[in-house]
Structure 1
Amino acid sequence: MNRPTRKTMIIIVVVIAVIVLIAALLLRPMLAQYSDAQLTGPDPVIAEIKTSIIPTVNLAEPIGWNDSEAPVATGPLRVNRFATGLAHPRTMLTLANGDVLVAETSGPADNDDDGIFGWIRGWIMDRVGAGTPSADRIRLLRDADGDGVAELSTVLLDGLKSPFGMAMRDERLLVANTDAVLSFPYTMGDLQISGSPHKLLDLPGAGNHWARNILLSKDEKRLFITVGSASNIGENGMAEESGRAAIHEYNFVTGASRQFAGGLRNPNGLALEPSSGELWTSVNERDMLGPDVPLDYLTNVPIGAQYGWPWVYWKEYVDERVEAPMPQFLTEYTRRPEYALGAHTAPLGLLFAEGGNLGPQFSRGAFIARHGSWNRKPPSGYDVVFVPFDERGNPVGETPVTVLGGFLTKDRDKARGRPTWLAWDKNGALLVSDDTAGIIWRVSTGPELSR
Structure 2
Amino acid sequence: MKTNQFALFCLLTGFSIAGCNSKVSEKEKEAARQEGPDSVATLTDNLNLPAPFETKSVEHRPEEAGWPEGKMPTAPAGFTVTKFADKLESPRWSYIAPNGDIFVAESGTQKSADRITLLRDVNKDGKPEMREIFMEKLKRPLGMLVLNNYFYVANTDGLYRYPYKLGETRITGKGQKIVELPAGGYNNHWTRNLIANADGSKIYISVGSASNVADHGIEEEKRRANILEVNPDGTGERIYASGLRNPVGMDWAPGTNTLWTAVNERDKLGDELVPDYITSVKEGGFYGWPYAYFGPNEDPRRKGENPELVAKTIVPDVPVGSHTASLGLAFYDKTKFPAKYHHGAFVGQHGSWNRSTLAGYKVVFVPFKDGKPAGKPEDFLTGFVESEKKVYGRPAGVTVMDDGSLLVNDDSGGTIWRVAAR
Q: TM-score range by the shorter chain?
A: 0.7 to 0.9
Q: What's the secondary structure of 1:402's corresponding residue?
A: strand
CA contact (8 A) 1:273 1:279 kept: yes
- Where structure 2 has 5 or more consecutive residues not aligned to the other structure, the ranges are 1-40
Look up the match of 2:356.
Answer: 377
Instruction: Please tell me the residue identity of whatever aligns with 2:141.
Output: P
Look up the match of 2:274.
Answer: 294
Look up the match of 2:12.
Answer: none
Once the two structures are superposed, what CA deviation does each residue of 1:70-117 show, in whole Å capped at 9, x if it has no partner?
A: 10001111000000000001111011222100000123xxxxxxxxxx
Q: CA RMSD in A?
A: 1.7
Look up the match of 1:223.
Answer: 203
For 2:389 and 2:214, the matched residues in 1 are separated by 31
Q: What's the secondary structure of 2:372's corresponding residue?
A: coil
TM superposition shift of 1:378: 1.6
Look up the match of 2:293.
Answer: 313
Look up the match of 1:280.
Answer: 260
TM superposition shift of 1:439: 0.3
Look up the match of 1:415.
Answer: 391
For 1:57 and 1:307, the matched residues in 2 are separated by 26
CA contact (8 A) 2:332 2:400 kept: no
CA contact (8 A) 2:334 2:404 kept: no
For 1:294 and 1:51, the matched residues in 2 are separated by 12
For 2:108 and 2:268, the matched residues in 1 are separated by 24
TM superposition shift of 1:426: 3.1
TM superposition shift of 1:254: 8.0
Q: What's the secondary structure of 2:366's corresponding residue?
A: strand
Aligned residues: 378
Q: Does 1:327 align with 2:306?
A: yes
Which of 359, 362, 377 is the equivalent residue of 1:400?
Answer: 377
CA contact (8 A) 2:91 2:105 kept: yes
Q: Does 1:206 align with 2:184?
A: yes
Look up the match of 1:110.
Answer: none
For 2:411 and 2:292, the matched residues in 1 are separated by 31
- Where structure 1 has 5 or more consecutive residues not aligned to the other structure, the ranges are 1-39, 108-130, 447-451
Look up the match of 1:5.
Answer: none
Instruction: Please tell me the residue identity of whatever aligns with 1:361.
Output: K
Look up the match of 2:320.
Answer: 341
Go from structure 1 to structure 2 and tell me whether the alpha carbon gap of 1:332 and 1:64 turns closer, same or farther (over 3 Å shift): same
Look up the match of 2:49.
Answer: 46
Go from structure 1 to structure 2 and tell me whether the alpha carbon gap of 1:41 and 1:275 turns closer, same or farther (over 3 Å shift): farther
Which of 74, 83, 91 is the equivalent residue of 2:85?
Answer: 83
Go from structure 1 to structure 2 and tell me whether the alpha carbon gap of 1:254 and 1:269 turns closer, same or farther (over 3 Å shift): closer
Look up the match of 2:213.
Answer: 233
Q: Does 1:172 align with 2:172?
A: no
Look up the match of 2:23.
Answer: none
Which of 434, 438, 444 is the equivalent residue of 2:410?
Answer: 434
TM-score, normalised via structure 1 length = 0.81
* Deviates most, 177-186 or 349-358: 349-358
CA contact (8 A) 2:210 2:220 kept: yes
For 1:314 and 1:304, the matched residues in 2 are separated by 17
CA contact (8 A) 2:107 2:114 kept: yes
Instruction: Please tell me the residue identity of whatever aligns with 2:331.
Output: F
TM superposition shift of 1:375: 1.5
Q: Does 1:258 align with 2:260?
A: no
Look up the match of 2:334.
Answer: 355
Once the two structures are superposed, what CA deviation does each residue of 1:173-232 show, in whole Å capped at 9, x if it has no partner?
A: 100010110001111222111233122211111322110011101111000001100001
Look up the match of 1:24.
Answer: none
TM superposition shift of 1:275: 2.3
Go from structure 1 to structure 2 and tell me whether the alpha carbon gap of 1:67 and 1:258 turns closer, same or farther (over 3 Å shift): same
After the TM superposition, list the runs of 4 or more consecutive aligned residues in structure 1 that deviate by more than 3 angstroms: 40-43
1:151-170 alignment to 2 at 5 Å? 151-170=129-148
For 1:237 and 1:92, the matched residues in 2 are separated by 34
Once the two structures are superposed, what CA deviation does each residue of 1:304-340 show, in whole Å capped at 9, x if it has no partner?
A: 00011111001121111127x6234223311000110
Go from structure 1 to structure 2 and tell me whether the alpha carbon gap of 1:166 and 1:141 turns closer, same or farther (over 3 Å shift): same
Q: What's the secondary structure of 1:101's corresponding residue?
A: strand
Report the identity percentage: 39
Q: Does 1:147 align with 2:125?
A: yes
TM superposition shift of 1:67: 2.3
- Quick check: which has more Rg, 1 or 2? 1
TM superposition shift of 1:241: 0.6
TM-score, normalised via structure 2 length = 0.86
For 1:437 and 1:192, the matched residues in 2 are separated by 26
Once the two structures are superposed, what CA deviation does each residue of 1:211-260 show, in whole Å capped at 9, x if it has no partner?
A: 00111011110000011000011110111011111110002378210011
CA contact (8 A) 1:41 1:339 kept: no
CA contact (8 A) 2:343 2:369 kept: yes
Q: What's the secondary structure of 2:385's corresponding residue?
A: coil
CA contact (8 A) 1:52 1:288 kept: no
Go from structure 1 to structure 2 and tell me whether the alpha carbon gap of 1:52 and 1:402 turns closer, same or farther (over 3 Å shift): closer
Look up the match of 2:27.
Answer: none
CA contact (8 A) 1:280 1:301 kept: yes
Look up the match of 1:72.
Answer: 74
TM superposition shift of 1:154: 1.2
